[in-house]
A and B are shown apart, each in its own frame.
Chain A
Amino acid sequence: MTTLFIFLVFPGFLFTAFAGMMASWLERKITARLQWRVGPPWYQSFADTVKLLSKETLIPRGAVETVFLAAPLIGFSGVILSSSILGAVNLDPQRGFVGDLIVLLYLLMLPSLSLLIGGAASRNTLAALGVSREMKLMIAYELPFVLAVLTPVVRSGGIITLGGLVIFQQAHGGFLWSPSGALAFIVALLAVHAKLGWAPFDIAEAETEINSGPLIEYSGSLLAVFRLTRMMLLIVAPLFIITIFAGAGFRGWGMAWSVLQYLIVMVALILVKNTNPRVRIDQALRFFWRPVLVLAAAAMALACIGY
């Protein structure tokens, strides 16, 4: 019963969906303010979702129907599971299981993967283009991301549970304040930025170029699920790196501190999003495989010798 509650209500589906809608509104509002506009009202994401749910859902002729229908659910389940695990561990660091960090790494890949599968199943040239770009982008950022996430594990002497990392940091201070942790944090931030598909890494969905890429054929409730996944990822992905690099937990003052850290990270990401034009896919690949990978490797090396 409690497990079901964790998955469906708090901190799983319902809570994260609501928080994600607010985060997505925050993103749009800050973007608007940066451009001297007023921006949408706070209930905008909610209205968008309800509207999409009430609209007709079309399946394009020639699409692989089952895959087309199942794809959004794959990413959605991934983000629900990861938000549940992450929230539960932050609330009570004793929870969790050995290797939940690695499970989360995989779960966080599911939203991008569902985009690949859905786009490829929709039989649209522009979607196929978007899929190929998304795939390359994943290949680009996943390697530095994994290295960055493993840096705290090495630094803490091999603690591979999320809860263990939180407890370690509550005792010894966040990894963020050590040289290796700071470097790895920057790498993780960049990877999360690409994971969220924000400019300058919105290559796969390039609105003005390939008309939202993999999502081009999706309509109605299927699109709503995709968008909800994206909004929930806005909560889960930054929270994940905050947990492993700063690890304040959700107890007492830790809650306020975590929320503050989350807001700082979000605003930083939004500022980067609004001040950088889209790069080409080859530029993104080069960026992640050269400077960022070197940074991640340096962080790993520093962690290995104990800095």
Chain B
Amino acid sequence: MGRGMGIRTWALRKSLWVFHLSTGSCNNCDIEIIDCLTPRYDVERFGITLVGSIRHADVLLVTGSVNRRVAPKIRMLYEMAPRPCIVVACGTCACGQHMFKGSYHTSEPLDAHVPVAVYIPGCPPKPEAFISGIVQAAGQMGSLRTRV
């Protein structure tokens, strides 16, 4: 906690609600995300929960290599989220399309569609890497306020 942090920033950092979006992942990253909710990692300790509606989300967690069908929807979902909302790319696929780069079904990488704040590489990343990524996202929360 930095000095002079307002109560709004504090609350934002202590209560991150995550919306999980798969853009054509192999499902492995998604399973590792669910791991974070299990007793071993229990991210609810830090106020992190998964929410079902993008309207409730503070973090847009994207997995997968962004295929053509889903590409227009990503921008739409991002616009639908109430600000401040941060995009986190999970897994090497979301970071840079991994082995699907240049494939017939993939569109541009994720950061060509929406501004990505945190990249979590790995195939799949370990739950520890996820938590560290979300914590980084929390650190950026206070400074993001307007629509990008």
List A residues at the B interface (Cβ < 8 Å). Answer: 28, 32, 35-41, 43-44, 46-51, 54-58, 207-208, 211-212, 215-220, 223
A231 to B96, CA, bound (A): 42
Instruction: Decide if the interface of chain A is mainly helix, strand, loop or mixed.
Output: loop
Q: Report the 6 A-B pairs with minimum CB-CB distance, sorted nearest first.
A: A211-B52, A50-B11, A47-B14, A56-B82, A51-B11, A219-B55
* B39 proximity list for chain A (CB < 8 A): 35-37
Q: Mark B39-63, 1 if CB is under 8 A from A, else 0.
A: 1001011010001110110100000
Q: Is the CB of B14 within 8 A of A55?
A: no
Q: Is the CB of A47 within 8 A of B15?
A: yes
Given A47-B15, A58-B80, output 6 extra A-B contacts at Cβ < 8 Å: A47-B11, A51-B15, A55-B58, A56-B84, A58-B55, A212-B52
* A215 proximity list for chain B (CB < 8 A): 53, 56
CB of B83 within 8 Å of the partner chain: yes
Tell me whether A208 and B55 are in contact in the complex, defined as CB-CB below 8 angstroms, given that A47-B11, A57-B82 are known contacts: no
Tell me whether A56 and B83 are in contact in the complex, defined as CB-CB below 8 angstroms, given that A39-B44, A51-B12 are known contacts: yes
CB nearest to A37 among chain B residues: B42
List B residues at the A interface (Cβ < 8 Å). Answer: 7-8, 10-12, 14-15, 38-39, 42, 44-45, 47, 51-53, 55-56, 58, 80, 82-84
CB nearest to A209 among chain B residues: B52
Q: Is the CB of A38 within 8 A of B82?
A: no
Q: Is the CB of A216 within 8 A of B52?
A: yes
Q: In whole Å, how far is A231's beta carbon from the nearest beta carbon of chain B?
A: 14
Q: In whole Å, how far is B27's beta carbon from the nearest beta carbon of chain A?
A: 16
Q: Is the CB of A47 within 8 A of B83?
A: no
Number of A-B pairs, beta carbon distance below 8 Å:
83
Q: In whole Å, how far is A126's beta carbon from the nearest beta carbon of chain B?
A: 8
Q: In whole Å, how far is A2's beta carbon from the nearest beta carbon of chain B?
A: 31
* B83 proximity list for chain A (CB < 8 A): 55-56
Q: Is the CB of B56 within 8 A of A47?
A: no
Q: Is the CB of A223 within 8 A of B55?
A: yes
Q: Is the CB of B8 within 8 A of A54?
A: yes
Q: Is the CB of A48 within 8 A of B45?
A: no
* A219 proximity list for chain B (CB < 8 A): 55-56, 82
Partner of B15, one of A44, A56, A216, A217: A44
Q: Is the CB of B45 within 8 A of A43?
A: no
A41 to B51, CA, bound (A): 19
Q: Is the CB of B45 within 8 A of A41?
A: yes
A-B contact pairs, 20 of them (CB 8 A): A28-B44, A37-B38, A37-B42, A38-B44, A44-B15, A44-B47, A47-B11, A47-B14, A48-B47, A50-B7, A50-B8, A50-B10, A51-B14, A54-B12, A55-B82, A56-B83, A211-B52, A212-B56, A216-B52, A216-B53
A97 to B84, CA, bound (A): 48
A63 to B127, CA, bound (A): 39
Q: In whole Å, how far is B138's beta carbon from the nearest beta carbon of chain A?
A: 11
Q: In whole Å, how far is B46's beta carbon from the nearest beta carbon of chain A?
A: 8
Q: Is the CB of B11 within 8 A of A32?
A: no
Partner of B45, one of A39, A54, A58: A39
Q: In whole Å, how far is B39's beta carbon from the nearest beta carbon of chain A?
A: 4
Partner of A44, one of B14, B56, B84: B14
CB nearest to B39 among chain A residues: A36
Q: Is the CB of B55 within 8 A of A216?
A: yes
A215 to B10, CA, bound (A): 25
A276 to B84, CA, bound (A): 36
Max chain B C-beta neighbours (<10 A), residue from A49, A51, A58: A51
Tell me whether A48 and B15 are in contact in the complex, defined as CB-CB below 8 angstroms, given that A39-B45, A40-B44, A41-B45 are known contacts: yes
